[in-house]
Every structure is written in structure tokens, then in C-alpha cells.
């Protein structure tokens, strides 16, 4: 969590900014003003960024783009970096990237997303898709999906006599011949499908079906909760979510962990927002600047994933990670 404030930063919250480490990929979401310095404080090197996703072009989601891109150029980042954004913001991308004098060295690939979104990058290593949200300006939410894999079943392998290097060969080729069996052993006989993990990023939107679609079954849902429930009228007027709505979204979507963020400066203490979201959904983390929040561990194959929807009010957060 590089920054967690909405429109105006505060003494304790920087403008938005989120960095997701996902295997070898590093995805920077919505770099608001000051993101370059927040990255230094968080120990995120500019070379760790492989993709930048911008939801929309209000300043709290993009004013840090010039600084981050210029820093990547200064650091000589030589790998391609994809900049994904709603196509309606093209003019702002051009202005932000041309905001001041610098030598553009990073191979930045512009990937404007038109219409209502869809698959932006099929991968590997992951599938990136976008869906139009309800916020006024052209706004997209993002979803990252790992492809499904397979989990080996040790008891089945043992029972069919597949051992040692044969296991690797079976994974590689899909079948293997075993002494004493006329038919080869197939991968399907000794493993089960393991669903890929999913992260969803829902920022700056009124309550809408698209938010639910993005969040469906997400292991980690990062969601705006700009307003407290008492200010629901403001949330509706400015097309934002209340903390209660964010919690209900996570519950309805069957998400596993919810991170609420993008707080209005009117709440110096986000405890009320955490309480309101937690009344609707169990596993809620209240974002704080420079906080690291883990994607929940992979669900065990054959067992129902542990959805937080069932036990509101009892978070499964490990001690020491939950912010004060
Ligand atoms: Zn915003």
C-alpha cells in the first residue's frame, strides 16, 4: 500500500498508489502524487515495475505517473513496461508523460483500453482484464487471474507406483508407463485441478454490476471505501462506495480477503470504516500507507476455499499485520 488517501492526501496518507508483487511481475496501480517517494519508503525499486494500470485520470490516481516513469528512465529500466488505461484518458497520458524535460529511456508500451473493457493481456504469466465502472469519467477496474494448474495427490501417485523422477516426467508429458500396468498413468488420475489465484482492483465507482463481476471469487479484492455509511448520500452523489457497500460487495462476490482504501480526508481515523466493512465481511484489512498485505494462501484442492463471507466480525488476519 503506497498511498491510501482519495482526493486530498493527509499528514498520514499519501495519494493512492498500490504495488502488487505477483511472481515475477510487479504491477503498479493508480500512482497518485508522491508515488515515486512512497516506493522508496516501501522498498519498491523502479525496476520491479513491469506494468502500470490506471483506473481513471482524476489526479489522485495518476499525478504520480510522470515521476515514476521519469525515475524508471533515470534508473535505465530496459524491460518493457505496459501502461494500461481507459482510452478516454489518452490526452491525459500524453500530457502526463510530456509534463517536463527528461530522456524517455524505459520502453513504455501504451495499451489504451476501449469500450467496456475485456481481456487486455491473455498472458502468460497472468490474464489481465478490465471492466468499465460507474464513476463519471472513463473508468476501468482491473482483474488479474493466474491460469489454473494441477496439484499432485501423493497417495494416488504411491498407489499407482509413480515415484521419484517419474513424477516430473508425468507432469511434463501428461502420461507415463509404469511396470505392471498395461495402460499408461495419466496426469488426471493422480492430480486435481488447482484454480489460479485472482486479484481484483475496484476503485472509484458507484455500486454497479461491473464491480461484482470484477470481484467474483477474488482471493484478494482491493476496493475503495471512500465514505462511511452515514455519508451514503455523498457516496451516491459522487459515485463512490461506502465501507458497508465495499464489505457487501466482497461478501456477494465470494471474495476471500478485502482491503478497503481510498479514504476521504474527512475521516482522520479509519477505524469506523473498518468496523462498517467488517460488519458485512470477515476478512477485512484497512489499508494504511506502507502496509504490506498478503494475498491469502492458496486454497487447498478438494476443500471449499475459505470465503470470508460466512463470519462477519471475526477477521482471520494474522497478528501484527492488521493496522492499528
Ligand atoms: Zn479517487
Please provide the DSSP assignment of 203-269 as one string. Answer: -S--S-HHHHHHHTT-SEEEEE--B-GGGHHHHHHTT--BHHHHHHHHHHHT-SEEEEE-B-TT-S-
Residue 253 CA to ligand 1 centre (angstroms) = 22
End-to-end, the C-alpha distance of the chain in Å comes to 15
What is the architecture, at CATH level 2, of domain 18-148+195-296? 4-Layer Sandwich (3.60)
Catalytic residues, by residue number, are: 60
Give the model confidence (pLDDT) of 20-30 as tens digits. 999 999 999 99
Closest CA to 203 of 128, 135, 297: 135
State how far the Cα of 232 lies from the Cα of 236, in Å rounded to an integer: 6
Which pTM was predicted? 0.88
Closest CA to 22 of 137, 146, 171: 146
* ∠ Cα 92 95 100 (to 5°): 150
Contact by Cβ (8 Å): 120, 130 = yes
Residue 7 CA to ligand 1 centre (angstroms) = 6
Q: Is the dihedral of CA 126, 132, 135, 136 positive or negative?
A: positive
Average pLDDT over residues 248-267: 97
Chain centroid to CA 273: 20
The yes-or-no verdict on residue 303 having pLDDT over 80 is no
Residue 250 CA to ligand 1 centre (angstroms) = 20
For residue 133, the model assigns a pLDDT of 97
Sorted by where each begins, the domain ranges of the chain are 18-148+195-296, 151-192
Residue 45 CA to ligand 1 centre (angstroms) = 25
Give the model confidence (pLDDT) of 10-68 as tens digits. 999 999 999 999 999 999 999 999 999 999 999 999 999 999 999 999 999 999 999 99
Contact by Cβ (8 Å): 200, 222 = yes
Residue 288 CA to ligand 1 centre (angstroms) = 16
Residue 1 CA to ligand 1 centre (angstroms) = 15
Amino acid at each position: 500500500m503506497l498511498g491510501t488517501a482519495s482526493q486530498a492526501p493527509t499528514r498520514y496518507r499519501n495519494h493512492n498508489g498500490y504495488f502488487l508483487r505477483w511472481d515475477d511481475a510487479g504491477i503498479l496501480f493508480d500512482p497518485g502524487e508522491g508515488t515515486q517517494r512512497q516506493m522508496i519508503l516501501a522498498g519498491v525499486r523502479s525496476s520491479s515495475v513491469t506494468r502500470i494500470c490506471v483506473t481513471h485520470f482524476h489526479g489522485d490516481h495518476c499525478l504520480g505517473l510522470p515521476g515514476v516513469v521519469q525515475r524508471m528512465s533515470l534508473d535505465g529500466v530496459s524491460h518493457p513496461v505496459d501502461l494500461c488505461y481507459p482510452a478516454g484518458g489518452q490526452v491525459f497520458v500524453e500530457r502526463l508523460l510530456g509534463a517536463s524535460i527528461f530522456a524517455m529511456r524505459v520502453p513504455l508500451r501504451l495499451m489504451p483500453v476501449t469500450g467496456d473493457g475485456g481481456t487486455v493481456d491473455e498472458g502468460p504469466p497472468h490474464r489481465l482484464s478490465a471492466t468499465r465502472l460507474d464513476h463519471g469519467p472513463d473508468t476501468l477496474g482491473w482483474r488479474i487471474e493466474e491460469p489454473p494448474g494441477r496439484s499432485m495427490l501423493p497417495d494416488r501417485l504411491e498407489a499407482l507406483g509413480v515415484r521419484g523422477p517419474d513424477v516430473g516426467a508425468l507432469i511434463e508429458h501428461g502420461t507415463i508407463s509404469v511396470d505392471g500396468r498395461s495402460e499408461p498413468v495419466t496426469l488426471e488420475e493422480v492430480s486435481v485441478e488447482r484454480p489460479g489465484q485472482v486479484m481484483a482492483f475496484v476503485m472509484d465507482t458507484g455500486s454497479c454490476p461491473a464491480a461484482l463481476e470484477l470481484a467474483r471469487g477474488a482471493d484478494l479484492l482491493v476496493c475503495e471505501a471512500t465514505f462511511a455509511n452515514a455519508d451514503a448520500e455523498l457516496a451516491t452523489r459522487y459515485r463512490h462506495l461506502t465501507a458497508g457497500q465495499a464489505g457487501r460487495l466482497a461478501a456477494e462476490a465470494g471474495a476471500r480477503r478485502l482491503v478497503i482504501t481510498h479514504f476521504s480526508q474527512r475521516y482522520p481515523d479509519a477505524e469506523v470504516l473498518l468496523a462498517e466493512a467488517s460488519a458485512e465481511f470477515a476478512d477485512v484489512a484497512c489499508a494504511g500507507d506502507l502496509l504490506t498485505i498478503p494475498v491469502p494462501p492458496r486454497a487447498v484442492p478438494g476443500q471449499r476455499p475459505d470465503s470470508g463471507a460466512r463470519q462477519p466480525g471475526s477477521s482471520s488476519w494474522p497478528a501484527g499485520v492488521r493496522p492499528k
